[in-house]
């Protein structure tokens, strides 16, 4: 039976959008100092230092960011929200208003969609309508999805090459850790523009990812109840 698609409420769209618009300049301006605390927001020392499955997708990594949050819901329930992530799927669970302002026509879904509960290795997920889709380079059901290029770089490989992964670490039958990890390789063509662009991406990634983690936690815990 097909599930009716229910999108984020207008109130939440506006309320979270205002939150994002307020936080964005504060984080951008404070990042030279706040990066120390927000770079690995919520993650333990062990989570930051351990080798994760998706790390091998960027073998020459020089920079990593690990963000994490506790979720009072089972790993299986959290997975059901994570697995349907993507443009033209369930959305990204982040600041929808900010995403639309940069040309991403995303609509975040607040129900589980049976049609998007299965993924396979190599499946490509779109993040932006004008950018190439990102393939799934590593996958284990109910535990992790790792996005990134597999193999050697090509003319079409982004510079810098990176991987972006979501991990679910069970704590017990009804709680888990939800972890986001980014691994970034050194710039192959270190122009000033690319260096500035990469520096600007860091605080923006944190802003969007912390909202994603918090939204998935809310949805999963509400479903658990």
Q: What would the pLDDT profile of 125-179 be if each residue is shown by its tens digit?
A: 998 888 888 999 999 999 999 998 776 666 566 767 889 999 999 999 999 999 9
What does the alpha-carbon distance between residue 116 and residue 168 come to, in Å, rounded to a whole number? Answer: 18
Give the chain's largest Cα–Cα span.
Answer: 53
Q: Look at residues 77, 91, 160 and name the one whose alpha carbon lies nearest to residue 125.
A: 91
Contacting residues for 124 by C-beta, under 8 A, at least 6 apart: 133, 134, 135, 136
- Residue in the block written with tokens 């009072």: 72
Whole-model pTM over 0.85: yes
Other CB atoms within a 10 A radius of the CB of residue 75 amount to 23
What domains are defined for the chain?
10-224 (3.30.530.20)
Measured CA angle at 199 (ends 197, 203), to 5 deg: 110
- DSSP secondary-structure letter at 2? P
Percent of the chain scoring above 70 in pLDDT: 93
Would you say 178 and 166 are in contact if contact means Cβ atoms under 8 Å apart? Answer: yes
* pLDDT value for 225: 47
Average pLDDT, the chain: 91
Average pLDDT (47-68) is 93
């Amino acid at each position: 039976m097909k599930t009716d698609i229910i999108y984020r409420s207008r109130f939440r769209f506006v309320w979270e959008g205002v939150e994002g618009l307020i936080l964005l300049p504060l984080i951008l301006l404070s990042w030279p100092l706040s990066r120390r605390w927000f770079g690995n927001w919520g993650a333990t020392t062990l989570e930051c230092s351990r080798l994760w499955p998706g790390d091998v997708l960027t073998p020459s990594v020089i920079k990593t960011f690990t963000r994490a949050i506790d979720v009072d819901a089972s790993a299986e329930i959290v997975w059901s929200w994570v697995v349907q992530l993507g443009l033209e799927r369930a959305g990204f669970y982040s600041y929808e208003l900010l995403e639309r302002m940069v040309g991403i026509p995303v609509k975040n879904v607040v129900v589980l969609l049976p049609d998007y509960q299965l993924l396979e290795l190599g499946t490509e997920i779109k993040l932006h309508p004008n950018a190439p889709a990102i393939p799934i380079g590593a996958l284990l059901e109910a535990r992790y999805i790792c996005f990134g290029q597999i193999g050697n770089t090509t003319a079409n490989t982004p510079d810098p090459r990176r991987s972006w992964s979501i991990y679910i670490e069970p704590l017990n039958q009804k709680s888990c850790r939800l972890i986001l990890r980014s691994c970034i390789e050194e710039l192959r063509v270190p122009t000033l523009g690319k260096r500035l662009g990469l520096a600007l991406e860091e605080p923006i990634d944190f802003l969007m990812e912390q909202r994603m983690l918090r939204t998935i936690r809310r949805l999963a815990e509400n479903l658990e109840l």
